[in-house]
Amino acid sequence: MTDELSAAPTPAHRPTERVFHGDTVVDPFEWMRDKTDPEVIAHLEAENAYADARTAHLEQLRATLVQEFIGHTQETDLSVPVRRGDWWYITRTTAGDDYPKFTRVADTGTMPQVEPGVMLEGEHVLLDAQAEAAGAEFYSLGGLAPSPDHTLLATAVDTAGDERFTLRITDIASGEVLDEAVTGAGYGLAFSTDQQWLFYARVDDAWRQHQIWRHRIGGPAGEDMLVIEEPDERFMIGFDRSRDGSTLVIQAGSTSTTEAWLLDLARPTSTPVPAGGRREGVDYTVEHAGDRLLIVHNDGHRGFALAQAALESPERREELLAAAEGERLLSIEAFAGFVALELRSGGLASVRLIPRAADGTLLIEQASDISHGGELDTVEIDANPNWDQTTVRYQLTSMLTPPTIAEREVASGATEILRVTPVPHFDPSLYVERREWATAADGTAIPLSVVARRDVPADGTAPGYLYGYGSYEMSIDPSFVPTRLSLLDRGVVIAIAHVRGGGEMGRNWYEHGKLLEKKNSFSDFVAAAAHLTDSGQVAADRLSAEGRSAGGLLMGGIANLAPERFRAIIAGVPFVDALTTILDPSLPLTVGEWEEWGDPLHDPAVYEYMRGYTPYENITAVEYPAIFASTSLNDTRVFFNEPAKWVARLRETVTSDQVERPILFRCEMVAGHGGRSGRYRKWEQRADELAWLLDQLGATELA
The residues that are catalytic are: 549, 635, 673
Helix axis angle, 519-534 relative to 550-561, nearest 10°?
70
Q: Which amino acid is at 591?
A: V
Helix (H, G, I), strand (E, B) or coil at 647: helix
φ, ψ at 69 (rounded to 5°): -60, -45
Cα gap 304→286, rounded to integer Å: 13
CB 502 within 8 A of CB 509: yes
Q: What dihedral do alpha carbons 362, 363, 364, 370 form, nearest 10°?
A: -100
CB 199 within 8 A of CB 214: yes
**Residue 280: burial class (beta carbons within 10 Å; 0-12, 13-18, 19+):** exposed
Cα gap 529→496, rounded to integer Å: 10
Q: Which amino acid is at 331?
A: S
CB 303 within 8 A of CB 348: no
- DSSP string across 654-666: --S-TTTS-EEEE
Cα gap 162→144, rounded to integer Å: 18
* Cα separation values, 49 from 42, 53, 256, 483, 650, Å: 10, 6, 43, 26, 18
497: CB partners within 8 A, 6+ apart: 438, 446, 448, 466, 467, 468, 524, 525, 528, 529
CB 466 within 8 A of CB 547: no
CB 335 within 8 A of CB 344: no
Helix (H, G, I), strand (E, B) or coil at 230: coil
CB 230 within 8 A of CB 257: no
Cα gap 630→617, rounded to integer Å: 19
Helix (H, G, I), strand (E, B) or coil at 240: strand
